[in-house]
Chains A and B, each alone.
Chain A
Amino acid sequence: MTAVRMSPDGVPVEVREGETILRALARAGQAQRVGCRRGGCGICKVDLLEGEVAYEAVVAPSVLSEEEKDAGVCLSCRAVPLRDTTVALRDDAPPAASWLLRLREEHEHARRRPPAPHQHHEHHHQQQHHQQSSTRIAADAGAGTNQKGA
């Protein structure tokens, strides 16, 4: 039996004939970050610590380059283990979380920004917007509240 193991704590998971690393791990209930599951986005890359893999499907070089392959990077949705294999999840933070976090921070910053001193008219205008957006946040916090209720 060929097995794949997720370093450091994972138990060995049986890999069925022709099965990819991603599918074998998922079947055993071991979750990891996945994207398109079709080799197009590169989100499910892992580092190959031990073992050997083959790619039965065509993988675009723009997704996984030869240099990456040589460095032991492996596209888990396409890589089929040829013998017992150990992989490590990569510790790069999911960009989605940081993206939304950054946008939220920018938004919060914009809401807290003091109005420009000479633009009295715009000042008033901006305050209205701030109040509106605060109301919406508060409304969303209360489950089932109609945010347009104000």
Chain B
Amino acid sequence: MGIMRMGYVHTRVTDLAAARQHYEETLGLYPVLEEPGKVYYKGWDEWDHHSVVLEEGGVGAAKFGWKVQRDEDIEEIEKKAWEFGCSVERMSRGENPEIGDGIRIIAPSTHVMEVYSQATAVGMEVGTHNPERFPRHLRGVGVPGLDHALIATQDPGLLERFFHHVFDMYTTERFASSFDDDAKTIASWMTTGNQYHSIACIEGPEGKLHHFAFKLEDWNAIGHAADLFTMDDVPIDMGPTKHGITRGSTVYFFDPAGNRNEVFAGGAMAYPDRPLITWTPDHIARGIYYHAREINDRFTTVYT
């Protein structure tokens, strides 16, 4: 099936100790490996070695990892990336700890996308033999795993075509300048499987990160997470609220380096033949924040 999911986000943080407190104690990710200036994490319901990498120095996302189902998918994607005119290089096993051979693509937005098929299997925290529903001693929010990311680009239409052509993704929802066939794409939510979106892009400063999100079970879990953010003095950007786009529930908040995180629950099911949903500028505020129906300045100005 080619791309299965966004496998990891490798993000920069200004202060690793402060970031560790946030990602371990508040979000409850499991540290799996430490290197000088770097920590690797997984969520309790993830099986591959890591899904989040923190690297000390700077802010923003250094790169994104995409896991494909078969080794031969890598070559196929490499070919399509060349066709699209992207810069592509091979990456070797171990360049990223516990991640196999793959390719590194510079997307038209300058974001770095790594594609791989092999990762060391660590296993879910509840195991696979007659498992419990969740680990008894979760920390903080206890996020099960990574869900998606929203990245910024000056040309969302071009980046959308990149994800369609190179990653064989399809768009579930689009924010366009109008309903006309020649309308400009302002933002796009895309996926490969039935997850409603694994990547989204929005018009904004080239190469920047808007947020990356962790999945939660439901609306109650979203509210509980927000309580914990208050207890831990985590700045909440917006929420708990719901999105019109994706129909997900959300809290946007910031890590100690100012990178925006999200906890996201629900959302519709995606199918390639599901009719595309389009939003226009006159209704976009309701699409993003379904209850407030107002976009605050932060949504379109705060990037790392």
By a beta-carbon cutoff of 8 Å, the part of chain A in contact with chain B is: 33-41, 43, 57-63, 94-97, 99-100, 103-104, 106-107, 110-111, 122, 125-126, 129, 132-133, 136-137, 140
Contact = CB atoms under 8 A, between A and B. Distances in A.
Contacts of B177: 103, 106-107, 110
A96 B295 contact: yes
Contact of A107 (B14, B178, B257): B178
Interface in B36-57: 57
Given A41-B302, A62-B58, A104-B281, A33 B297 contact: yes
A144 to B, nearest CB: 12
Contact of A36 (B12, B178, B302): B302
B280 interface: yes
Interface string B264-304: 00000000000000001111110000000001111111111
B297 A58 contact: no
Given A95-B300, A106-B177, A132-B179, A38 B280 contact: no
Given A36-B237, A106-B184, A111-B178, A60 B257 contact: yes
Contacts of A126: 180
A40 B259 CA distance: 6
B225 interface: no
Top 10 nearest A-B pairs by Cβ distance?
A40-B258, A36-B258, A103-B281, A96-B297, A38-B258, A96-B300, A35-B302, A110-B178, A129-B179, A36-B254
Contacts of A96: 295-301
Contacts, number: 118
A43 B14 contact: no
B280 A133 contact: yes
B125 interface: no
Interface of B: 12, 14-15, 18, 57-60, 177-181, 183-184, 186, 203, 235, 237, 254-260, 280-285, 295-304
30 contacts: A33-B297, A36-B260, A36-B298, A38-B255, A38-B257, A39-B14, A39-B257, A39-B258, A40-B59, A40-B254, A41-B304, A43-B298, A43-B302, A60-B14, A60-B59, A63-B59, A94-B297, A94-B301, A95-B297, A95-B301, A96-B299, A100-B281, A100-B295, A107-B177, A107-B280, A107-B282, A110-B178, A111-B178, A122-B181, A132-B179
A97 B295 CA distance: 9
B235 A37 contact: yes
A113 B67 CA distance: 44
A116 to B, nearest CB: 10
Contacts of A38: 235, 254-258
A101 to B, nearest CB: 9
Contacts of A107: 177-178, 280-282
Contacts of A43: 297-298, 301-302
A136 B244 CA distance: 15
Contacts of B180: 110, 126, 129
A35 B14 contact: no
Contacts of A41: 258, 301-304
Contacts of B302: 35-36, 40-41, 43
B37 to A, nearest CB: 13
Interface hub of B184, B203, B256, B258 (most chain A Cβ within 10 A): B258
Interface hub of A61, A96, A107, A136 (most chain B Cβ within 10 A): A107
Nearest to B253: A36
Contacts of B183: 110
Contacts of A39: 14, 257-258
Contacts of B184: 106
A126 B49 CA distance: 51
Given A36-B304, A100-B300, 9 more contacts: A35-B302, A37-B235, A38-B258, A39-B14, A60-B57, A62-B60, A100-B284, A107-B280, A140-B282
